[in-house]
Structure formats: C-alpha cells, structure tokens
Structure 1
Amino acid sequence: MGPRRSAASSRGRLLLPLLLLGVSGFFQSYAVEVDIKDASNATCLYANWMMRFLITYESNNGDYKTTTLNLSSSATHNGSVCGNDTQAALVAVQFGEGHSWSINITKNNETYQGDFMTLTYNTNDTAVFPDAKRKGPVTIFIKDPAGPVQLNTVFVCHNSFIIEAENITQIFWNVTVQAFVQNGTVSKKETRCPADRPTSAPTVPPTSANATTPPTTAAPPAPTPPKPVENPDTGNYSLKSGNKTCFLATVGLQLNVSQDKPLLININPKTTVADGACGNTTATLKLNDGNSTLIGFTFAVKNASASVQKFYLREVNVTLLNRLNGSVISSADNNNLSKWDAFLGSSYMCRKEQTLQINENVQVHTFNLWIQPFLVEANKFATAEECLADSDLNFLIPIAVGVALGFLIILVFISYIIGRRKSRTGYQSV
C-alpha cells in the first residue's frame, strides 16, 4: 500500500517549551514530535527534534543585521510523507508568520540518509525582521552533511550541532529520527552523532591481586594554582564577493564572560569558520568557533555622502552555545560602538591589546588586529592607519633611544673633565 500524507494519517504534537536564558533576554524554542503513519495506520517515519535559526538580512538603511528565528507553539507538519523505495521521505514543518522547514530523506539499499534541507523564511514577519529591505519569502537549500544510517536504526543526537549555508546558521539539538520504519515500531538500536560519542577514558594500571604490602596513606596533594590563560593565536579571515576578496581580517580574539564566575575563552583560528556579507556602506564578518561561539563584527561608513569618508566598527554581537543541549549560555550585543576608524580605502591596525565592552557581562579582547572591511584590492591590505596605542609605542622608542644617548654624552663629558683635572695636577712644580 502506498503512503498517505500526514494531513490525513499522521499526528504531531508540540512538547514542553525550552526556555533559554541569555544575557540580553529570553529565547524560546519548542520541540516538535512528528509520527507519520501509512495507510494501515502503522508508523513509517518518526522525528523528534529542536532547532533554531540565526539569519543575517539587509535592513532598509543598507545595514546587515542578525536575527533569531525560533519554532513557534503553533507549528504544523502538513505535507510530510513516509517515502518508499522510489520516493523520498519528507519531514515538513510550518511555523510562525509564513516560515517553513523541510528535509528530504532517501533510501539506498540498506541505509537511509538526509538529502537536502529547505528553509523558507518570510521577511514580512515584522516581529523577526522589523526593518528588512527585501520583503516576502526567501528560500535557502542546504545539503545535509550527516552520513548514511542503517535501516531499522534510529539516528540520535542530544548534543547541539550547527549547519551553515549562505546567510543562515541552523542549530539543532535533542534530535531523534528514523525514516522507513519497519513493522510500525521505532527501533531501539541507535546510531549516535559524532558529538554524542563518548571519549575514551584513561587506562588505570591494574593492581596486583597477590600484593601483601599494605597500601601507604599518602598526603593529599597540594592544590595546583590555575594556569593563566595565554594570549590567543592570531587568525586570518576573509570574505569574497563573487571571485573577488572584499573583506580582510587578521586578529587574535579572546572573550571575557562574567556570569557565575569569570570565564576567559580563546578563539581558536584552526577551528573557526568565517562568514558574512560585504556592502558599499556596511560589512559584517561572522566567526563560528567550534560550533559553540558566534561572534559578529559590523562595520559602517561615516558620512557616506561626504567627499572624504571613514569607516568604523559600529556593532559587535556575541553568542555562546551550550554544547550539551544547544541552549544559549550568553548572548550580548552592542550596536552603538565607534571604534577602529580609518579612511575609506585604508586598513586599520592595532598590535596592542584592545578591549570592546559589549555589555556589563561580556568583553571582547583583540590582539594583533589588522582589518579592512571595504575596498580591498588585489587580495592585499591597503596602507594601515595605526591605533593610538601603537603610535605611542612608536614615539616612545626614539625618545628612549635619545634619552640613552643623552646620558651617554653626559657621561663622556664628565669623564673628559675629570681626566683633564687629573692631568693638570700631575705637572705641578716641585
């Protein structure tokens, strides 16, 4: 018998909401459970998961902003299909003001695998996109990076994982999926995602069963003082518009988060992926470090109509995610900055450490900064305008050298005077 669409024979219900507390407010997302049944009323596809979307869009004044799109309590799953040997299974969800998400799942011999995801978000939803320049639905297709799963096996991923494409960041957690369910019963055999797989425990050397010497009571070890956090490694990041590089950045980044206790986090450039958007008057660089830290830097042009123009850092937003459940540990935004300004067509450089205060709980420290968000030519930095701290250092070096030379001249002069006096006293008449 062929499968029937979920409108007639499937059921879905919304589970308890998960409230995610961040520094700047509450983020609410809902889990969705979909149990699709075939014509004989047997389960053919089961899915239970949570997800959230971070979307970068262009505002009416040409700026780029990042917003959060969550599943709503009124989500539906119309159009979901069981699938068979020749037809892909489909899990489809509709939520909010005209938003939808779906995933195609194909069967291949003894395995099934997600093919591609489709997200349609509607910028007419003013609650999520209050000032979007482009109005109406926008559709993005994303390749599912997960590998194949054996039939009669359920795919499980409790820990959060991120999939990025274009201007979209998808965050998933608490995922349970089985397509092409056999005999109407969801399998108890699991395939875990890499994030859920346990790490190997250290091997404990065995003790001798025939040992007769009683164990010696050792004194408790002295507490080890915490190791200071070193400066972060410097990373090189770039964005392209078509085939041309439009944004260059070299920087070491460190986060200082103060909640229950101070937390210093070094951003590892080896695991950090750069994304963003280039524009004529605004440009945004988004950095994703190991699927747990998201940092966005937005630059703008001052006095866009003036003959002499400068750019500056206008906004920084930081989001920290819990690897275990995908919840937001901390979310902070400062859109009223006026830092790192330089003439348009130049780059900005500051080798010394700088601190960006995002809010009362979050700081971003930068090291060895060199950045150019506009008018990049030949994939190279233009002439740099240095920060005041570096300029002071450049002035201090020749001053210090001059002072040292002055002392040396004075010492030579004093030695000369003393030498002349000694020579005069040596030739007195007897």
Structure 2
Amino acid sequence: MKLSHACGALIIAWCVVLGCVQAVTLEVKEGDSTCIEAQLSASFSITYNTSSSTRTVQVPLPDSATVDPGSSSCGTDGSSLPWLVAVFGSGNALGLSFTTNGSLYSVANLTLQYNLSDSSTFPEANSSDVVTLALASVGIWAPINTTYRCMSATPFRVGEATVTFSDMKLEAYMPENDLSPTESICMADQASTAAPPTTASTTTTVAPAPTPAGTPERGSYSIKNRNGTDCLLAQMGLQLNVSYFSLSQNKTIQEITNLTPNLTSSSGSCEASSATLVLTQEQTTVLNFTFTLNSTTNKYHLSGINLLASWSDMPAPLLASNTSLNYLRSTLGRSYMCNAEQTLAVVPTFSLNTFKLQVQPFGVTTNQFATAEECQMDQDQMLIPIIVGAALAGLVLIVLIAYLIGRKRSHAGYQTI
C-alpha cells in the first residue's frame, strides 16, 4: 500500500515537472450566454500533516476538471459575485470570484478546497477533513471586454498551499461568447518578451531622470464590515514610481506620480486573517493592498501590492503584482505608523513611496486607530535630537563643573586678614 501511494505521488510530481499538466477550458454560462471563460493550466503544492511529520504533495489540475453548476454563477441577480468553481478528483475544487468597478474587472477571491481523506493524493494524512483555503485579491486585473493573458508560471500562496497558474487566458463579464481578441498581458509576460539589448550601435541614449512629483497629499481611507463599523483604517500619502514604454517618446521611461485623495475611491474587504484595500483613481489607476494576519503570533503585515495602470501613453495596461511582500509589520490590536518616507519595492518596474502613513487592517474596535507601533526610521529620527540634546547637556555640565573648580581654586589663593 505504501509503495502504491509513493508511486502515485511520484507520478503526479513527475507530471508537474515534465509539463504533463494540460490547459483546461472552463466556462460559466447563463442560458446560452457565456459570462466567464478560463483557459489555464494549474498545479497545487499542498502541505499537510501526517502522524509523524509534514508532507508536501504536488497536485495538477486534471483535464477532467469540470465547472460545478451549483457553485458557479454569473452573479446577474446582484446578490452575489460571479463565481467560477472547478471540481476535480475526490472532493477537490478551485474557485475564482470576480468583481468590477464598471471599467475594470478583477479576481476578488481565489479559493482552494482539498479532501484529506483521499489517501491516493494525501497518503498517511492524520486528518480526513475537507480543507478550504482562500486568498483575497490576487492581482489578476483587466479592462472590461479584454482578455487577461499570462503564459508565465505565476504562483500564489494560499495558506498551507501554493497555487501556480500558467498558460492562462481569462475573461469575466463577457459581452460575447468568445474571449475578446484584445488582451491585457501580465507583467511577467511583458518582462519575458522584452527585446534584448542591442550591440549593433555604439550610441547610447540615456533616459532623463523623472521629474520629482513633490510630496503627495495625505488621504484617509476606510473599509467597513457587514455591520457598518470600520474594520480597516488607513491614512497616507502615496507616490507611484513606474517604468513603462512611452508611445509618445518611443522608449521606456520612468514616471513618478502622486495619488490624489479627492480623485480616489476606496473599496475592499475584511476577513479573519486577510484584509484588502483597493484604491481607484479616475478609472485609470487601481492600487490594491493585501494584509495578512498570523493568528499564531498575532502579527500582521502587508503581504501583497498590485497595480493596474491604464494611462494614455501606454501601449497596453500595465499590471504589476507581488504577493510575497513583508512590509508594515505590527501587532494585532495596534496600528502601524511611519511618518518618514518609505519606499516599498514591488517589482523591478514599480515601487511605491509612502508618506505620513498610519494603517490598521485588523482589530479596529472604536472606528479609530489604536496605539501605534512606530517604524524604525521614525524611532531613529526621534533618537537624533535626544542624542544631540544629551550631548549639549553634558557639555554644559562639564563647563559648569570646570567653572566651579576654577572658582574654588581662586578663592583658595587669598588669606583672611
């Protein structure tokens, strides 16, 4: 039995490595109309407990996967989001829910369900539970009536599992039954298809340094939970530092631009271990923050930043995403504060500068920030005047002592008559 389990796991892992994972076409329909279509390959790296240790298995999304009609929907009734749920194996499922602001659509949630009682996939598991994991806002965006395309392998960490998509073409809120020929290409594909440097010419054109955009205005943003109370609070000035190919200049440029609070709307969600803040400016810039809470340590951090920029000088919408970040670390029940300018590196073509930042994505109890944990830069800036003040006080004390000693010696030189 153990030998057959080991062979089965080995075959699955071997198929993943050798590319046996095939693209699957999944469609959600309402009547004869298709509202969601996905053509993709996917594999899942899942870690589970055995009686003596932990084990990790590689599970591909098989070409026998089908859309679950009971869980999938177009969301046209207005009471729920559109969902694509693919079922496979013995009690396993992959789900994608979608949301839109009218001009853009995005994956709002990625869910993975797996059945530990399936001994052929999870040999020697010490549980028979059906585990459901979820990740909010994975950074998959595209304009309406545009196909999101990402051929590169893109991993997403979802709890104890990693979901890796590749060869992906995806569209939601489809006006037609076929994928749109207009494509929004992910950042990974744009980087892999960039033209290599040429050596045919010895003339080098250096792009001018970006014009400073000045200090951005500080905005206040909040997300409410179902009972109407604030569950996420944020105050910050935000500055985008983006590199992209300029149509007007016919070269790659670096642009620094500020997010303007009175032109920016906020949305998002709060869950037990994750929270999302989405900032949208004039339908051309969408900035998404994902915060993750570790329930064991009661520590949270900024784990993901996604940017979708659709600016007039761009040949195609720019997608920049990183879901493996570790910024803005703080403790549950406290806010994180950093008045100093911070630079949050996201991907080589995009970084985010923050100014006068205070954020609390978890444990908001009175619709206001809790006691703040300050960043190291603020602590260092406070330490400098303390050190200078202490040095000046020490200098004054030395001068005073010298003066008193000198005065005492001058009195000792006189005798009373």
Q: What is the TM-score of this pair, normalised by structure 2?
A: 0.50
Query: Shift of residue 387 of structure 1?
Result: 1.2
With over 3 angstroms needed to count, the CA separation of the structure-2 counterparts of 1:173 and 1:341, relative to structure 1, is same
Identify which of 232, 235, 242 aligns with 1:257. Answer: 242
With over 3 angstroms needed to count, the CA separation of the structure-2 counterparts of 1:378 and 1:77, relative to structure 1, is closer
Identify which of 153, 171, 178 aligns with 2:143. Answer: 171
Deviations 1:190-238 (A, max 9, x none): xxxxxxxxxxxxxxxxxxxxxxxxxxxxxxxxxxx98632111111110
In structure 2, distance between residues paired with 1:278 and 1:264 = 30
Partner of 2:231: 246
Secondary structure of 1:375's partner? coil
With over 3 angstroms needed to count, the CA separation of the structure-2 counterparts of 1:296 and 1:139, relative to structure 1, is closer
Q: Which amino acid aligns with 2:254?
A: P
Secondary structure of 1:355's partner? strand
In structure 2, distance between residues paired with 1:324 and 1:258 = 12
Identify which of 343, 347, 357 aligns with 2:335. Answer: 347
In structure 1, distance between residues paired with 2:98 and 2:377 = 46
Secondary structure of 1:381's partner? coil
Query: Shift of residue 379 of structure 1?
Result: 0.4
Query: Shift of residue 384 of structure 1?
Result: 1.2
Question: 2:37 aligned with 1:96, yes or no?
Answer: yes
Residue correspondence of structure 1 range 14-413 to structure 2 within 5 A:
94=35, 96=37, 120-124=82-86, 132-133=94-95, 161=103, 171-172=143-144, 228-242=212-226, 243-259=228-244, 260-302=252-294, 304=295, 306=296, 308-323=297-312, 327-328=316-317, 330-413=318-401
Query: Shift of residue 380 of structure 1?
Result: 1.1
Q: Which amino acid aligns with 2:86?
A: N
Deviations 1:363-417 (A, max 9, x none): 0111111111112111011111111111222333322211111122233344556
Q: Which amino acid aligns with 1:239?
A: I
In structure 2, distance between residues paired with 1:381 and 1:266 = 24
With over 3 angstroms needed to count, the CA separation of the structure-2 counterparts of 1:102 and 1:241, relative to structure 1, is closer
In structure 2, distance between residues paired with 1:275 and 1:408 = 56
Partner of 2:153: none
In structure 1, distance between residues paired with 2:75 and 2:314 = 22
In structure 2, distance between residues paired with 1:140 and 1:255 = 24
Contact 1:311 1:341 in 2 (8 A): yes
Query: Shift of residue 93 of structure 1?
Result: 6.2
Contact 1:347 1:384 in 2 (8 A): yes
Contact 1:240 1:246 in 2 (8 A): yes
Contact 2:210 2:255 in 1 (8 A): no
In structure 1, distance between residues paired with 2:84 and 2:412 = 99
Which structure is larger by alpha-carbon Rg, 1 or 2?
Answer: 1
With over 3 angstroms needed to count, the CA separation of the structure-2 counterparts of 1:325 and 1:390, relative to structure 1, is closer
Secondary structure of 1:275's partner? strand
In structure 1, distance between residues paired with 2:238 and 2:372 = 20
* Residue segments in structure 2 that go unaligned for 5+ positions in a row: 1-24, 39-66, 110-136, 147-208, 245-251
Identity of aligned residues (%): 29
Contact 2:240 2:351 in 1 (8 A): yes
Contact 1:316 1:358 in 2 (8 A): yes
In structure 2, distance between residues paired with 1:402 and 1:119 = 60
**Number of corresponding residues:** 255
In structure 2, distance between residues paired with 1:257 and 1:375 = 33
RMSD (CA atoms): 4.5
Contact 2:340 2:378 in 1 (8 A): yes
Secondary structure of 1:230's partner? coil
In structure 1, distance between residues paired with 2:98 and 2:303 = 29
In structure 1, distance between residues paired with 2:382 and 2:223 = 31
Secondary structure of 1:96's partner? strand
Q: Which amino acid aligns with 1:290?
A: E
In structure 2, distance between residues paired with 1:312 and 1:374 = 10
Query: Shift of residue 293 of structure 1?
Result: 1.3
Residue correspondence of structure 1 range 408-427 to structure 2 within 5 A:
408-415=396-403
Secondary structure of 1:257's partner? strand
